[in-house]
Structure 1
Amino acid sequence: MTVPPTGLLAADRAYTDQITEHFAQRVRTLGYQLILDYKQQHRGVQGTHQGALLVDGSLACPAMPHALAHATTGLNDKAVRDLADGTELSERIAGREPYFLKLKESADERGSIRLQCPAGGPSPAVVCPRFNQVHRVPAPRPAVVDLSDKRATAAHTAAKPTVPIPQGERLRPLPQAELPRICQKPTITIRPGALGKLDKFRQDRHYLHPTWQDAYRPERANIEGLNGRAKSHGIDISDPTKRLAHGRVAQTILLALMICSINLHILFSWQQTTRPQTTGTAHEIAPLAGSASTPPDAAGLPPPIRLEIRETI
């Protein structure tokens, strides 16, 4: 059974480097999709799983061109922050897209997903001589393409990138048993924690791709704004003199109270900005519920006389 994701969870590099069982595996089990950033030494090719390359948190074709797979290897943080369209880096990030494994089945109730070789399926993203040889894919029939139709032109086989298979393998194909697992069978199942230590790097958006930037940067900007508020002069959770207590338990409780105060201040500020503004015009006073709308009858009974009791000594 496929369940909808709980939501997106963007985390900075401190969370990315956590042990898989402590963070990534747990949030995936809860249904979250992870959006991650990496330290400089962790960018680029991070490992392999069932023959597929793990490139910046996304599984990809094992024959992805070297320049694309290592486009971010050793990339510093400034280059990540200042990534702009039209640069060599942005072009290589876009060039990676066809080589990533395609999502065939979304996460089920256990967080498992199914991924597919980019050369497989009814709409392959690449042309792979290895895939065609292993799975006996017949050659496509000649077809007339309307060059004015961009969608039809992009869908044609000639418009798709070809996986760079070594020349020796083209002349003498390898036995199927010697091929990577993803090349033998075009689909694989990925469960939370299946990649072992590498699972902490896996994420649900392709790193630095526009979809990643649209999801990660607004979330991180919001978090940094909250961090700035927490470290402002009003609260300043970084000032130890405002938590004069001994012991981890006492410090944790005081910090929780400070965070609670910050949340209350945020709610108060939101209420002040969203509340309708009052004008300077006079307002009529509404009568109280149950009060008399007409003056009392003059012929009615007078109020009871209150007796005073005086004591004399």
Structure 2
Amino acid sequence: MTKNRFNDNSKPNRRARTRAIMCPGITATPGDPDFGGMSASEVQSGGRTDHVFTSQQVALAHSRVLQMGILDKLTAWRCEDIHTTCTCARPSLISDHAILVGLLLLSSEHCPLQIGSLAVVFQNRLTIESRTLLNLSYVAPASLGDAREDKRWYGGTHRAFHRLLALMDPFPQERDAARTYTEVQAVLDAHDADRKKKMKLRLDEFTEAFLHMTFMQQPQHLRSATRHIDLAVDQTFIASPTRGGYNKRNLARNVADEIGTEPRSLDREPIDVFAGWWARPTPNNRSDFRWGWAANIAVRVDSERPGESRFPKLAISATLSMPNIGVDEEAVSLMRSALGTGLAPGIVDADKGYFASSRVERLHEPTFDLGFTPSTDYRVERLGVHGVQSGATFIEGKAYCPSMPTTLQNASKDHVNGAIDAVTYERLIQARVPFELRPKGKPDDQGRIRMMCPAAGASPTVVCPLRTLPADHINSASPHVANDDLPDSPDKICTQQSVTFYKYDGVRERQAITYGSTAWQKFHAHARNSAESLNASINSHDFESLDDASRRTARGFAAAQVFVTILLTNYNLRTIAAFMNTETFSHAQTTSAGKTPEKVTPRTARRPERPAF
């Protein structure tokens, strides 16, 4: 009878298996009874395919971390927090530098950003040269079955990662144990609002450093394809890796209900206390609520040539926030961070959740102060006339002559209500242009500007009975104001040569491009599509898988923003690479066809002018 070699428990085979476990230099060959058809490396890695990163890959990630200057900031923050010069600080097994390089390497493979995966990189996936570069003491790959070595590397990586998070965590709390409502309330009561502001600024600086580094990885002709930085702002959901949350409105009642109850019978869940509910629409018009945070992202777009692809659509800036809290302030932070690219402020596009719904002092005025001009859609109730200044009417981002016909004033409302079709609407929008007030000079250092009636001056665009002009100044093709449309009591705009508009006059309705025009529709569609395309790409399971909390199990607000930062960094880098690959291929095709490649001429298109008021 033939002995079953895979179940042979004879003493020689047992000794052979023991030698293989204790002596990693002894490798099993296919058919070896010790491992069957498995290789020693497969058994050692637990079935993972852990390829060693090349020295070139590690050196590139290393150089990028150095370029962003974040290591100096981390050192300064650590010194500030412990009130010491750090000269006598005990060196750690794994540095901040190594953690950041390791995260970049994992993200480039689209691997889960988990501490266990990061520990394996440090333990087994680096060459000797790379270990020296990252100041990791050289240790041979762990012996097969050597759990102590695995635990040492995991523990060192875990401590290093959380040491990094502690420098910029706005919401520190213990996250290992499940909590009752009473314990949740205690965490909220112990929250330090001043510390939160300080750490939130650090966290945003961290993200800014990474994303600006990716912007600088582009060749000069892509970075300077436009003189201004135009943005599309949007949000995407970031799920918490814990199992759910709590109702903040009912928290006090739930705490009261727990009084006098046996502690062991209370409901407990391992929750991130500092998160919120995100409502996601479902096909049956109901909302699916998920617990987590909102990632605020600004994408670079093109207001000059929205139909073309002149540069990669990168995530220029990003922050993390609680759902439905501080939306306006986060948008302002995105714009302020975008100016770090060195480009002048341009147009910022957003959906109706921003400029169409926000308070002027929270979003519109800070946007104007930063130098950006909005491009947005309006809610139905904001269409038509909204505001009057010295007799001039504010209508959807422009100041118009008060005698403009009612059909032109209500064109947008009529279009939304279905009273006119798209062709008629476009014609009426074009017919508004001659009725726009015209600037008389440039704004002063206080933002004030003199504006003229469209029927006044040497080159009037309309003919009005209230204005007497020489015959040679009147263009017969210009629209004529009907007597029935004249105001009952003409104001300053009708009686003076010009009137002063102040910095924030009409700022709520101000638009960079004439609302409803073909140019506005083209740019707004381009900007919205760019933002939605980025969200779809970073949430794709083939790439960053940002919406999959199981791929980033470290808990807490700070960990979530660090992971968002790393994944957006990888998105930007692969987007740049893909864009340049396409650009190179197109250039090669042009050359092989015997044609002269078109010379790159940045900023050849005319950017929409910033409104004067």
Q: Same fold (TM over 0.5)?
A: yes
Superposition map of 1:241-252 within 5 A? 241-242=550-551, 244=553, 246-252=555-561
Structure 1 91/225 Cα, relative in aligned 2: closer, same or farther at 3 Å? Answer: same
Letter in structure 1 aligned against 2:410:
H
- Per the alignment, in what secondary structure is the counterpart of residue 461 of structure 2? coil
- Per the alignment, in what secondary structure is the counterpart of residue 35 of structure 1? strand
C-alpha separation in 1, matches of 2:379 and 2:528: 16
Superposition map of 1:116-265 within 5 A? 116-130=452-466, 132=467, 137-138=468-469, 140-141=470-471, 156-166=474-484, 178-195=489-506, 199-233=507-541, 234-242=543-551, 244=553, 246-265=555-574
Tell me the equivalent position of 2:430.
94
Tell me, yes or no, if the aligned pair for 1:68 and 1:93 is still in contact at 8 Å.
Answer: yes
Post-superposition Cα deviations, 1:9-36, rounded to whole Å, max 9, x if no partner, equal 3333222122223322223223233322
Deviation (angstroms), 1:55: 1.0
C-alpha separation in 1, matches of 2:425 and 2:486: 31
Deviation (angstroms), 1:118: 0.8
Letter in structure 1 aligned against 2:500:
T
Q: TM-score, normalised by structure 2?
A: 0.35
Q: Aligned match of 1:73 in 413, 419, 433?
A: 413
Tell me, yes or no, if the aligned pair for 1:28 and 1:111 is still in contact at 8 Å.
Answer: no
Post-superposition Cα deviations, 1:76-107, rounded to whole Å, max 9, x if no partner, equal 49x8xxx85xx221121111111111233345
Structure 1 186/245 Cα, relative in aligned 2: closer, same or farther at 3 Å? Answer: farther
Tell me, yes or no, if the aligned pair for 1:64 and 1:164 is still in contact at 8 Å.
Answer: no
- Is 1:48 equivalent to 2:385 in the alignment? no
Give the structure, 1 or 2, with the largest relative contact order (CA under 8 Å, sep 6 or more): 1
Deviation (angstroms), 1:65: 0.9
Letter in structure 2 aligned against 1:258:
L
C-alpha separation in 2, matches of 1:252 and 1:122: 57
Q: Between 242-251 and 98-107, report the one with greater CA deviation.
A: 242-251
C-alpha separation in 2, matches of 1:61 and 1:212: 22
C-alpha separation in 2, matches of 1:167 and 1:270: 54
- Per the alignment, in what secondary structure is the counterpart of residue 413 of structure 2? coil
Letter in structure 1 aligned against 2:560:
Q
C-alpha separation in 2, matches of 1:232 and 1:88: 41
- Per the alignment, in what secondary structure is the counterpart of residue 393 of structure 2? strand
Letter in structure 2 aligned against 1:118:
P
Q: Aligned match of 1:267 in 556, 576, 580?
A: 576
- Per the alignment, in what secondary structure is the counterpart of residue 508 of structure 2? helix
Structure 1 127/274 Cα, relative in aligned 2: closer, same or farther at 3 Å? Answer: closer
Q: Between 50-59 and 186-195, report the one with greater CA deviation.
A: 186-195
Deviation (angstroms), 1:39: 2.3
- Is 1:7 equivalent to 2:315 in the alignment? no
- Per the alignment, in what secondary structure is the counterpart of residue 159 of structure 1? coil
Paired residue total: 241
Letter in structure 1 aligned against 2:572:
N
- Per the alignment, in what secondary structure is the counterpart of residue 537 of structure 2? helix
Tell me the equivalent position of 2:371.
31
Structure with greater helix share of residues:
2
Deviation (angstroms), 1:127: 1.0
C-alpha separation in 1, matches of 2:485 and 2:405: 14
Matched residues, percent identical? 28
C-alpha separation in 1, matches of 2:442 and 2:528: 25
- Per the alignment, in what secondary structure is the counterpart of residue 157 of structure 1? coil
Tell me the equivalent position of 1:303.
none
In structure 1, list runs of 5 or more residues that go unmatched: 144-154, 279-313
Structure 1 253/209 Cα, relative in aligned 2: closer, same or farther at 3 Å? Answer: same
Letter in structure 2 aligned against 1:8:
I
- Per the alignment, in what secondary structure is the counterpart of residue 440 of structure 2? strand
- Is 1:115 equivalent to 2:451 in the alignment? yes
Post-superposition Cα deviations, 1:124-162, rounded to whole Å, max 9, x if no partner, equal 1111112x2xxxx35x34x6xxxxxxxxxxx85332212
Tell me, yes or no, if the aligned pair for 2:402 and 2:486 is still in contact at 8 Å.
Answer: no
Structure 1 211/274 Cα, relative in aligned 2: closer, same or farther at 3 Å? Answer: closer
Deviation (angstroms), 1:240: 4.5
Letter in structure 2 aligned against 1:188:
V
Letter in structure 1 aligned against 2:514:
H
Structure 1 110/243 Cα, relative in aligned 2: closer, same or farther at 3 Å? Answer: farther
- Is 1:105 equivalent to 2:437 in the alignment? no
- Per the alignment, in what secondary structure is the counterpart of residue 386 of structure 2? strand
Tell me, yes or no, if the aligned pair for 2:437 and 2:452 is still in contact at 8 Å.
Answer: yes
Deviation (angstroms), 1:190: 3.3
Structure 1 230/107 Cα, relative in aligned 2: closer, same or farther at 3 Å? Answer: farther
Q: Between 267-276 and 11-20, report the one with greater CA deviation.
A: 267-276
C-alpha separation in 1, matches of 2:528 and 2:498: 34
Letter in structure 1 aligned against 2:496:
K
Tell me the equivalent position of 1:310.
none
Letter in structure 2 aligned against 1:253:
V
Superposition CA RMSD, Å? 3.3
Q: TM-score, normalised by structure 1?
A: 0.64
C-alpha separation in 2, matches of 1:229 and 1:109: 43
